[in-house]
């Protein structure tokens, strides 16, 4: 993740947390936070498609 993207993401998370605590109830914020933690855990455990090694099905035929 690049630095400007990290800054924007952090500011957005802080703004969402502030607005959520002002307009949602406490229990709803716990549900949203738990869902985000669960989503982060799933994305951490599921392997990324870009990190998988390519599968070469084509045999090397040298003549």
pLDDT digits (tens, 9 = 90+) for 4-57: 888 888 888 888 878 877 887 878 878 888 888 888 888 888 877 766 666 667
* Cβ contacts of 51 within 8 Å, gap of 6 or more: none
pLDDT above 80 for 63? no
pTM of the complete model: 0.46
Sort residue 42 into left (φ over 0), alpha (ψ -120 to 50) or beta: alpha
End-to-end CA distance of the chain: 46
């Amino acid at each position: 993740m690049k630095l400007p993207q990290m800054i924007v993401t952090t500011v957005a998370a802080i703004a969402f947390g502030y607005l959520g605590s002002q307009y949602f109830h406490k229990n709803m914020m716990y549900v949203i936070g738990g869902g985000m933690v669960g989503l982060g855990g799933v994305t951490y455990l599921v392997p990324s498609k870009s990190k998988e090694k390519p599968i070469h099905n084509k045999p090397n035929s040298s003549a």
